[in-house]
Amino acid sequence: MSLPIAADLTAPLVIGESTIVLDRARLVRYAGASGDFNPIHWNAEFAQAAGLPGIIGHGMLTMGAALDLVEHWLGDPGAVLDYQTRFARPVPVPSTGTVSVEVVGTLAAIDVAEKSGRVDLLVTLDGAKVLVKAQVAVRLA
């Protein structure tokens, strides 16, 4: 698949929407893969003692999963040049069932001469932002 062509695009442009589904099993798999065994991600009593509503998802898991939308649109994960965000609120993950985080990607800026752009991600849980200033610098064709 080839990269989107800068000269053919107009900002703002919604590039897509996705849903990140988290459950406790996914947190366990992510902890094993990342080495992040902070008890706030697996021990409800510890998380509550830390002032959290319960077990929460890893911020980096949410951040990385949100980027999937951009990588899919680009067709090449190597075309992601930079990705920055701030964590705004935790994502509580219930003991049974799932929680869904919504992602909307918008191509907010294009530099035709540089063949690059900026994608802004709106990442929300129940309408409230989970990530803020989530911006992805991308290479375009």
Q: Which of 129, 4, 124 is nearest to 70 (CA)?
A: 4
Q: How confident is the prediction for the chain on average, in pLDDT?
A: 97
* Domain boundaries defined on the chain: 6-22+57-139
Cβ(138)–Cβ(74) below 8 Å: yes
Which one, of 41, 130, 30, 45, lies nearest residue 90 by Cα? Answer: 130
pLDDT of residue 99 exceeding 70, the answer is: yes
Mean per-residue pLDDT, 56-72? 97
- Reported for 126-132, long-range contacts at CB under 8 A and 24+ positions apart, including other chains, are 128/88, 128/89, 129/88, 129/89, 130/62, 130/87, 130/88, 130/89, 130/91, 130/101, 131/62, 131/63, 131/66, 131/85, 131/86, 131/87, 131/88, 132/85, 132/86, 132/88
Rounded Cα–Cα distance for residues 136 and 83 (Å): 4
- Return the CATH fold of 6-22+57-139: Thiol Ester Dehydrase; Chain A (3.10.129)
Strand partners, 107: 13, 119
What confidence score (pLDDT) does residue 69 get? 98
Q: What percent of the chain has pLDDT over 90?
A: 99
Give the model's pLDDT for residue 1: 65
**15-58 per-position pLDDT tens digit:** 999 999 999 999 999 999 999 999 999 999 999 999 999 999 99
**pTM of the predicted structure, to 2 decimals:** 0.93
- Tracing tokens 């980096």 back to the chain, one arrives at 60
